[in-house]
Amino acid sequence: MPRIAFQGEVGAYGHQACLEARPDFDPLPCPTFEDALEAVRSGAADLGMIAIENSTYGRVADVHQLLPESGLHIVDEAFLRVRISVLGVKGARIEDLRRVRGMAILLGQARGFVRAHGLQTLAWSDNAAGAREVARLGDPSEGSLAPEIAARVYGLDILASGVEDHEGNTTRFLIMSREADQSRRGDLGMMTSFVFRVRNIPAALYKALGGFATNGVNMTKLESYMVEGRFSATQFYAEVEGHPEDAPVARALEELHYFSDRLHLMGVFPAARLRHEG
């Protein structure tokens, strides 16, 4: 059976995303995003399921810096509806809880619940690992925020469900592969992802992006981040609708290349249905 690597332990949201998006793959848990990417690079896994952003919390820290240097290619995207459960030891009640643990990105998605119950929070390396720690402690005052699957894996009770701040709370994952695949044409259109660094000239970013406007190409994402620890070195991660072989996208990328000192195509993949469902 082919394998798909994800960040986290068994019972993590990445694990759930693998089960939903690639049910014919064997999920491979990895401690960090770097480890998950390395598993794909080394051949230990065929694909990688990498969380990139959450609709409530925003982008996942560090991932934008890891992807361009990974040597891998984006071949698909997957959206996971993130329903947050409060887990505790067998027989515990919500009233018993004094503290909950989870990844910082997940704690940030349930601030309302945490405040309403006056709970302390403890940032954890992984949500499933936090659930495992609660099971190990056996203390009814200790809880974790995690998916329901973690309760089954670690023998915990679900003390509350759906505690996320926003009903549509969703995490987007990118599926990474060693090989690029530009041969497909999705039923709902294609997405092209790339990173670039503009030349150090006046209005370079404005000029670099002008080709997308004049060619009628919709840019759905543009994010900046510093590289090499320098405030003056800014790199951009972008996604546009369309395929690089589409004439408007090809012209826009050509213009972008002229005003950039680095342009790297990250992937071409079918647009997920959720994009069209809002």
**Which are the catalytic amino acids?**
171, 173
Strand partners, 77: 174
Q: Tokens 């404005």 appear where?
A: 206
201 Cβ neighbours under 8 A, 6+ residues apart:
259
Q: For residue 89, how far is the Cα from the chain centroid? A: 29
| CA dist., res. 262 & res. 227, Å (int) | 13
Q: Tokens 């009814």 appear where?
A: 140
30: closest CA among 56, 54, 3? 3
86: closest CA among 11, 145, 153? 145
- Backbone dihedral angles phi then psi of residue 188, each to the nearest 5 degrees: -110, 20
Say which DSSP state 94 is in.
G
Say which DSSP state 139 is in.
-
